[in-house]
Every structure is written in structure tokens, then in C-alpha cells.
């Protein structure tokens, strides 16, 4: 409540009445500039039916009368001899007037006092109401200030989240870590599929090629059930596998996997079996992959990822953390026991889908071309993964780095130099003395790009490509993934 500038002046008015002080106080806080015209609170006023406006008028008349009386007294004193003579002559009349005026003035004084008390009471009540209103206003201001502070904090949080979205390197930092209660128990259950993400934030390094052919190796060489999940909205893996299997495009089935209530039944409905479908099947020489399934992706996946971010940043209405959606589905014991390995192909950047893949995975594999551009992409990727692991307290390990698209099987001196650079980088970031590089590299082959079938089932003039390099790569990866103690 503001301090009145008239307060010092009030203190100096030692002779002022209490009523005047109360009125001055009301004026000070801006509640009233004049006393109320009608006072109905006082009991005497109700009994007498006094109209205080008329009382005030009477009071003014009384002051005028008093002035007249004082004037008469002054004149009487001035003309004292005449006054004495007049008094002796009209002594009886003066006594009679005295008997009448005395009681009248006493009664008038009594009622005058009642009016003062009523007016003072009303002023006191008005001051009390003013204080209550001021206190109410103060509480309202405090409430509004608290709401304003909350809005400011919300705006700051929103700005932070938007900055985090713009800086995709920290996309997983939108809020505090909130895994579902079964997360660690399901993930560390030794029974069931190992989940493997193939990733590098660099396009054109053969991530999709590696995922597709590794799935063929698991299905046809290891003869184990494998599930492919495409998280790249471009759908390259989906197009490659469905075309080879003779299946028409079906849209982005993977979108449904990010639903909070996604389960094994939904996954079984959305996956597509890559087994032979007749003459249209080119996969595995027309045999298809009897133990392989894929959940395809398309451009609508970006809308799903955007919606998850909006729900988190704007609406704050997600029961299941958006970073654990895939983990909640794929780590469920009923799902894991359907497969031996679940392979996830990712886009060349950090997205909500990529975060989900790494959170759900037990291992990740890095394909890297042995040149300057790709080798320089390895360190920031490994650094981001290590930061994500630390921030979200997840355990996902590097199964290996595969040198891809080399000019030939024996590496050139330039390729060897970049290969050694990648090995040193991985050791530095991961803090290990062991090399995580897969011994065999994956060369670039024209036969692979010219055929509808997968490279794993093709051959060149020197024999089947699987025997020359695919099996060597995948045997080492299989050992590292399935025998965790031997993995990086």
C-alpha cells in the first residue's frame, strides 16, 4: 500500500479531531474524498431517523447562531451599563429564556455527540473496508505476479526447448529423463532379441546397404528371425526390401510404433514378411527371406516426429516419454522373444526416431567411408552418443565400425590412413585401448547397384560376394553382438 504524502501533516495536527484524522486517512489511500452522505450503520441513527445532510446544515446554522451570540455578548460587554439596566428591567424574561435554552442546548449537544459518534463509526468502517480492499488487491497482485513469473518461466523453458530442437545435437535434452518403470529390467533381460542401430550423421555411407545385407545374413546364413525397422523418412531401406520382395509400396507403417499403446499385436500387423511372393520376388534369387520382416517408413514419419516434439514442448501431455516409445515396444519380452536380432536403420541426423533407436538398442554399428569427410563425421557422432548415454543413463555399446565403399578389397594407402584415424578417434572418445574397427572392409561394387537383389546374394567374376567379404564382416559383427563380452 503506498505511503501517503500527508502522513507527516497528520502527525503535526495535534488538535485535530479523530474523525478528521480518519477522513484524512481515507483520502490518503484514495478510497474517499468526502464522508459518506448517509450513515445507516449506527443504531441511534436508525432510531432517530436522522438525515445527516440536514444535520450538517443544522450544524452550520448553529455555528452562525453561536457567532451571533458571541457578537451579542461582545456588544453587551462594550455597552456594559446599558446591559446592566436592560438585565434589571427584564430579569424575569431572561430567567425564563435561560430555563428553556439551557436544556435545549444540552439536548442539542447530546444529539450532536451521537451524530459525531455515528459519523466516526462509519468512517472507521470505511477505513476497515478500504484496508480489506487494499489487502485483497495486494493478494490479487501477488497472484498475478506469481502467474506472470510462471509464464516467464514457461517462456524460458519454451525458448530452451526450441533452441534444443534447432540444435539437433541435443535433441534428447528436452526434459528430465523419465524412463518407464520396466525399462532396465526388460533391456537387461538376457533372453530375446538384441537390438542394433546402424547410424552415422552422414549421408551416403551405406547405412541402408549394410542393414539390408546384414538382415539377409541373419535370415539365410544364421537362419534366425530378424526384424528390420526403417526410421529414415526417405524410406530407402523400405523401397529396397519391398521392391526386391515383390511387394507394392504400403506407406509408413513405422509411424504406429511411436504410439504410447503400441504392442506386439500392432507390430505383427504393421510388419511385412519378406518371404517369396512368386515370380515378382527378386530377393535371394527369388526365394525371399523366410525369416525376415520389415516395418517400412515413408515421409509421414516426419509428421509423427514433429507431433511428438510439439506435444512435449507446447502441450506437456505425454504420459510415456517420447524418447522411450520404441523401447517400450521393442524391449517388451513378448516382442524380443519373437526375433534373434532387431535391426534399425536411421537417417543421417539426430531425430526423435534416432534418439528412440539408441535408447532402445543394445548395440550400434557405424558405417564409414574411409575418406576425409566421413572420417571427420565419426568423432562428433561418437561424442553425441556418449553424451546421450550419460544424460539419459542408457547402456548402448559400439559393436563395430565398418569401412564401406572402398575402391577395392585391399585398402589403398590413403584409405589405410583414414582407417587408422578413425580407430584413434574411437579410442579417444570411448576411452578404450581396443580397436572397434571391423577387420574386413566393404568395397564398392557395380554389380550391387545394377541389380534388384541384395548384394549378399550376388556374385562377380571371382565368385559369390558373400564369400569374398560380406560373411567376413557379418561374422565379426555377429560375434560381437551375440557375445557381449567380446564387443567394444
Q: What is the largest CA-CA distance in the chain?
A: 160
The predicted structure's pLDDT at residue 253? 97
194 and 159 share a domain? no
For residues 330 and 391, what is the distance between their CA atoms, to the nearest angstrom?
A: 22
The predicted structure's pLDDT at residue 56? 67
Confirm whether 102 is domain-assigned.
Answer: yes
Q: Per-residue confidence at 5, pLDDT binned at 50, 70, 90?
A: very low
Low-confidence winner among 87-96, 146-155, 338-347, 472-481 (lowest mean pLDDT): 87-96
Higher pLDDT, 61 or 232: 232
pLDDT exceeds cutoff 50 at 405? yes
The predicted structure's pLDDT at residue 409? 78
158 and 192 share a domain? no
pLDDT exceeds cutoff 70 at 25? no
Q: pTM of this prediction? A: 0.69
The predicted structure's pLDDT at residue 454? 92
pLDDT exceeds cutoff 90 at 49? no
Grid coordinates given for 130:
478500504
Show the domain range for 405.
185-486
151 and 190 share a domain? no
The predicted structure's pLDDT at residue 66? 79
219-245 tens-digit pLDDT: 999 999 999 999 999 999 999 999 999
The predicted structure's pLDDT at residue 282? 84
pLDDT exceeds cutoff 90 at 161? no
Determine the straight-line distance between the first and last CA of the chain, rounded to whole angstroms: 69
96-138 tens-digit pLDDT: 767 777 777 777 777 777 777 877 888 888 888 888 999 999 9
Q: What angle (nearest 5°) sits at the alpha carbon of residue 393, between those of residues 154 and 488?
A: 140
The predicted structure's pLDDT at residue 205? 94
Q: How many helices (H) and strands (E) does the chain have?
A: 19, 10
Q: Per-residue pLDDT averaged across 363-380, rounded?
A: 95
432 and 333 share a domain? yes
Q: What is the CATH number of the domain that holds 395?
A: 3.40.50.300
396 and 482 share a domain? yes
The predicted structure's pLDDT at residue 77? 84
pLDDT exceeds cutoff 50 at 422? yes
Q: Per-residue pLDDT averaged across 1-28, rounded?
A: 47
pLDDT exceeds cutoff 90 at 4? no
Q: For residue 230, what are the contacts with CB-CB under 8 A and spacing of at least 6? A: 236, 237, 238, 254, 294, 295, 296, 297, 345
Strand order in the sheet with 194-198: 272-275, 288-295, 226-230, 341-345, 194-198, 363-369, 397-406, 442-443
Residue of 263, 267, 256 whose CA lies nearest to 301? 256
How many distinct structural domains can be found in the chain?
2
Q: Per-residue pLDDT averaged across 296-313, rounded?
A: 88
159 and 192 share a domain? no
Q: Per-residue confidence at 292, pLDDT binned at 50, 70, 90?
A: very high
The predicted structure's pLDDT at residue 48? 44
Confirm whether 265 is domain-assigned.
Answer: yes
Contact 405, 443 (CB under 8 A): yes
Confirm whether 174 is domain-assigned.
Answer: no
424-436 tens-digit pLDDT: 999 999 999 999 9
Confirm whether 26 is domain-assigned.
Answer: yes
Confirm whether 173 is domain-assigned.
Answer: no
The average confidence (pLDDT) of the chain is 83
124 and 189 share a domain? no
The predicted structure's pLDDT at residue 281? 84
Contact 213, 456 (CB under 8 A): yes
Confirm whether 239 is domain-assigned.
Answer: yes
Q: For residue 187, what are the contacts with CB-CB under 8 A and spacing of at least 6? A: 327, 331, 362, 395
Q: What share of the chain has pLDDT > 70, as a percent? A: 80
414 and 265 share a domain? yes
Q: What share of the chain has pLDDT > 90, as a percent? A: 52
The predicted structure's pLDDT at residue 469? 93
Residue of 366, 369, 427, 423 whose CA lies nearest to 400? 366
For residues 167 and 194, what is the distance between their CA atoms, to the nearest angstrom?
A: 30
Contact 297, 231 (CB under 8 A): yes
442-477 tens-digit pLDDT: 998 755 666 778 999 998 888 999 999 999 999 999
The predicted structure's pLDDT at residue 316? 61
195-207 tens-digit pLDDT: 999 999 999 999 9
Confirm whether 454 is domain-assigned.
Answer: yes
The predicted structure's pLDDT at residue 106? 79
For residues 28 and 5, what is the distance between their CA atoms, to the nearest angstrom?
A: 8
pLDDT exceeds cutoff 60 at 46? no
The predicted structure's pLDDT at residue 34? 45
Long-range own/partner contacts, residues 20-25 (CB < 8 A, 24 or more apart): 22/120, 22/123, 22/124, 22/127, 23/123, 25/127
155 and 197 share a domain? no
Amino acid at each position: 500500500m503506498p505511503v501517503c504524502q500527508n502522513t507527516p501533516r497528520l502527525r503535526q495536527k495535534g488538535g485535530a479531531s479523530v474523525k478528521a484524522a480518519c477522513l484524512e486517512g481515507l483520502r490518503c489511500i484514495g478510497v474517499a474524498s468526502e464522508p459518506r452522505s448517509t450513515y445507516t450503520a449506527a443504531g441511534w441513527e436508525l432510531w432517530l431517523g436522522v438525515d445527516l445532510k440536514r444535520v450538517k446544515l443544522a450544524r452550520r446554522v448553529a455555528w452562525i447562531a453561536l457567532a451571533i451570540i458571541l457578537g451579542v455578548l461582545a456588544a453587551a460587554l462594550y455597552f456594559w451599563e446599558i446591559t446592566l439596566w436592560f438585565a434589571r428591567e427584564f430579569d424575569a424574561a431572561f430567567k425564563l429564556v435561560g430555563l428553556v435554552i439551557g436544556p435545549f442546548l444540552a439536548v442539542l449537544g447530546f444529539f450532536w455527540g451521537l451524530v459525531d459518534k455515528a459519523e466516526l463509526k462509519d468512517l472507521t468502517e470505511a477505513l476497515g473496508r478500504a484496508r480489506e480492499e487494499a489487502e485483497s488487491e495486494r493478494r490479487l497482485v501477488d497472484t498475478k505476479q506469481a502467474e506472470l513469473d510462471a509464464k516467464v518461466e514457461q517462456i524460458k523453458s519454451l525458448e530452451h526447448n526450441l533452441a534444443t530442437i534447432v540444435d539437433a545435437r541435443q535433441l534428447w535434452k528436452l526434459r528430465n529423463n523419465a524412463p518407464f518403470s520396466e525399462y532396465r529390467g526388460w533391456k537387461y533381460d538376457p533372453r530375446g532379441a538384441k537390438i542394433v542401430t546402424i547410424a552415422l550423421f552422414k549421408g551416403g555411407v551405406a547405412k541402408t546397404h549394410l542393414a539390408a545385407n546384414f538382415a539377409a545374413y541373419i535370415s539365410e546364413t544364421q537362419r534366425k528371425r530378424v526384424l528390420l525397422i526403417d526410421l529414415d523418412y526417405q524410406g530407402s531401406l523400405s523401397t529396397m526390401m519391398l521392391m526386391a520382395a515383390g511387394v507394392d509400396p504400403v506407406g509408413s507403417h513405422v509411424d504406429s510404433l511411436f504410439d504410447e499403446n503400441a504392442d506386439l499385436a500392432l507390430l505383427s500387423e504393421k510388419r511385412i514378411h519378406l518371404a517369396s511372393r512368386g515370380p515378382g520376388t527378386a530377393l535371394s534369387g527369388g526365394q525371399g527371406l523366410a525369416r525376415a520382416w520389415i516395418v517400412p517408413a515413408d515421409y509421414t514419419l516426419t509428421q509423427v516426429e514433429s507431433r511428438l516434439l510439439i506435444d512435449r514442448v507446447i502441450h506437456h501431455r505425454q504420459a510415456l516419454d517420447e524418447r522411450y516409445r520404441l523401447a517400450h515396444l521393442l524391449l517388451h519380452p513378448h516382442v524380443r522373444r519373437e526375433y534373434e536380432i532387431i535391426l534399425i536403420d536411421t537417417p543421417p541426423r539426430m531425430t526423435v526416431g534416432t534418439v528412440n533407436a539408441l535408447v532402445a538398442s543394445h548395440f550400434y554399428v557405424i558405417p564409414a567411408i574411409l575418406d576425409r569427410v566421413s572420417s571427420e563425421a565419426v568423432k562428433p557422432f561418437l561424442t553425441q552418443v556418449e553424451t546421450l548415454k550419460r544424460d539419459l543413463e542408457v547402456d548402448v555399446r559400439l559393436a563395430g565400425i565398418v569401412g564401406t565403399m572402398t575402391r577395392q578389397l585391399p585398402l589403398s594407402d590413403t584409405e589405410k590412413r583414414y582407417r587408422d584415424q578413425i580407430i584413434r578417434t574411437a579410442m579417444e572418445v570411448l576411452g578404450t585401448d581396443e580397436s572397434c574397427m571391423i577387420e574386413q572392409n566393404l568395397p564398392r561394387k557395380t554389380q550391387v547397384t545394377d541389380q534388384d537383389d541384395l548384394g549378399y546374394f550376388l556374385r562377380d567374376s571371382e565368385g559369390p560376394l558373400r564369400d569374398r567379404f560380406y560373411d567376413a564382416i557379418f561374422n565379426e559383427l555377429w560375434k560381437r553382438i551375440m557375445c557381449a563380452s567380446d564387443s567394444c
